[in-house]
Amino acid sequence: MLSYKIDAMALHWYGTKYQDFIDYVTDFHQTFGYPVWITEFACQDFSGGTQCSYDEAFTFMREVTSWMDKTPFVVAYFAFGT
């Protein structure tokens, strides 16, 4: 019989508000109870809404990377683009 162990869970996230990102990742962790790998994220709206300006994209990245760097359950992250 094969036995598997989950070490972490991965997620992707796209949106334009950094607090929405933080809330989503926190909820994901609380829901599943595992460390999180954020394998794609960006200040990007793929639904056709208003896109982030240059300044908004860099503010978003500064806020979320600062938060992820000090959040123990975020094991790894990789930005899709800025």
Assess if residue 1 is contained within a domain: no
Q: CA-CA distance, 23 to 29, in Å (whole number)? A: 10
User: How much is the pTM?
Assistant: 0.89
Decide if 58 is inside a domain. yes
Q: What is the pLDDT along the chain (82 residues), one digit of tens a residue?
A: 788 899 999 999 999 999 999 999 999 999 999 999 999 999 998 888 778 999 999 999 999 999 999 999 999 999 986 5
Residue 82 lies in a domain: no
Q: Determine, yes or no, domain membership for 2.
A: no
45 by DSSP, 3-state: which?
coil
pLDDT at 80: 87
Would you say residue 3 lies in a domain? no
Domain that holds residue 66: 9-77
Query: Does residue 70 fall inside a structural domain?
Result: yes
Dihedral angle sign, alpha carbons of residues 81, 75, 72, 7: positive
The domain total for the chain is 1
State the pLDDT at residue 82: 58
25 falls within a domain? yes
pLDDT at 60: 95
